[in-house]
Amino acid sequence: MAWKINCPEEVDINWLQNLFLEEFNPEVLGEGREDVSLFIDMQNVKFCTPAGLCGLHEFIKSHDGRTSVRRPEKNNAHRYLQRIGFFDNLKIFSDKDFASHPASGRFKEMMIISRDIQPRSSVVDDLCRDIACVVAPDDRDFQEFVLFCMAEMVNNVIQHSHSIGVTCAQYYRGTREVEVAIADHGRGIQSGLKDNPEFSSLDSDLDALEISTRPDTSGTFDSSSDPYSNKVNSGNGLFYLKKIVEKCHGHLNIFSHSGHYYQDGNEAPRIQQNSFFPGTLVVFRLNRDYTSTLGDVIREIREESLSAQQITEDLPDIQFE
């Protein structure tokens, strides 16, 4: 027997929260395809978001056996998947019967995050800036938000996932929101944290998600075999992303193996059990109508963090007799 994923009309974040595999007999695909062990049925797909596409892409890449994909019946959906690079990255459905128009101001095609990229390098900066400029070509302040939020997430894939990753982005004119997704099919946040001796006994994906969004969580990393030997990383990537989403009234989703973290603006985040995702997927949405600059928001976050730290330090020790 093999496994099958039935894609709904909308391949988005809501679908990922309920994604499941069902048993499937590959013989129904016809002669010569009996060895297919994963079948992705996209026949009914009409609409896709970066979250859904990056998540599905890494689900497919994590599979060791032969995968077969059924294309969408709707030509518009099929062409969008071709245009954004979903099929190209999987090396399927390479035929194109349409002319590609410039994507600036609309979306950024899927880009592979290679193991060959050095963390915190100009290549990372260029990749993130390229995406930021495409989804917000006429808004330098908003570009800086996207660039800052993306850079730490891309560096996390390179340094900690032990796999390649993928990213893409889309601007939605109706809501004036930008959605950015970064995914990998690596070892997950829990395993990454356990490299740090402080978290060596960690055994819960849900706890790992909560811990990873605290300030100064991951300690310090470098790209050597002992990533905690040098202080080259603040360990604040997800913390700052969480706080920016909070300040900008955005949305943040993090999937890592069996855990799902969701934050809606400044509401308290929800962390819950989820169907298994083979790696880590980070998705954030920001609204371009937000008027503050990145510098102002970062300054506010730092001031709040220092104030909270000072309050903690000033609390008297309480002795119980």
- Residue 161 is predicted with a pLDDT of 85
Domain boundary among 62, 82, 101: 101
Q: Which amino acid is at 317?
A: D
Same domain, 58 and 179: no
Asked if residue 281 is part of any domain, the answer here is: yes
Show the domain range for 19.
Answer: 1-101
Same domain, 67 and 152: no
Asked if residue 243 is part of any domain, the answer here is: yes
Cα 39 to Cα 110: distance, rounded to the nearest angstrom:
22
The total number of structural domains that make up the chain: 2
Same domain, 257 and 131: yes
- Residue 308 is predicted with a pLDDT of 62
Size of the chain in residues: 321
3-state helix, strand, coil split of the chain in percent (to 5) is 35, 25, 40
What's the number of CA atoms in the CB half-sphere (13 Å) around residue 11? 27
Q: pTM score, two decimals?
A: 0.88
Closest CA to 279 of 166, 111, 128: 166
Here the CATH number for the domain that contains residue 129 is 3.30.565.10
Burial class (CB in 10 A: 0-12, 13-18, 19+), 178: buried
Give me 79's structure tokens: 């062409």
Same domain, 91 and 106: no
Same domain, 25 and 115: no
Same domain, 114 and 199: yes
Per-residue pLDDT of the chain (321 residues; tens, 9 = 90+): 799 999 999 999 999 988 889 999 999 898 888 899 999 999 999 999 999 999 999 999 999 999 999 999 999 999 999 999 999 999 888 777 666 777 778 899 999 998 788 777 888 889 999 999 999 998 999 999 999 999 888 988 888 888 889 999 999 999 999 999 999 999 999 998 988 888 989 999 999 999 999 887 754 444 343 333 334 344 678 899 999 999 999 999 999 999 999 999 989 999 999 988 999 999 999 999 887 899 999 999 888 877 766 544 444 444 433
Asked if residue 118 is part of any domain, the answer here is: yes
Same domain, 92 and 112: no
- Residue 215 is predicted with a pLDDT of 83
Give me 304's structure tokens: 């709040």
Burial class (CB in 10 A: 0-12, 13-18, 19+), 161: buried
8 A C-beta contact, residue 241 and residue 253 = no
Same domain, 93 and 224: no
Same domain, 92 and 42: yes
Asked if residue 277 is part of any domain, the answer here is: yes
Asked if residue 321 is part of any domain, the answer here is: no
Asked if residue 319 is part of any domain, the answer here is: no
Q: Which amino acid is at 260?
A: H
Domain boundary among 101, 129, 158: 101
Same domain, 95 and 108: no
Domain boundary among 101, 132, 149: 101
- Residue 232 is predicted with a pLDDT of 39
What are the phi and psi torsion angles at 313 (to 5°)? -70, -30
Same domain, 117 and 197: yes
What are the phi and psi torsion angles at 120 (to 5°)? 60, 35
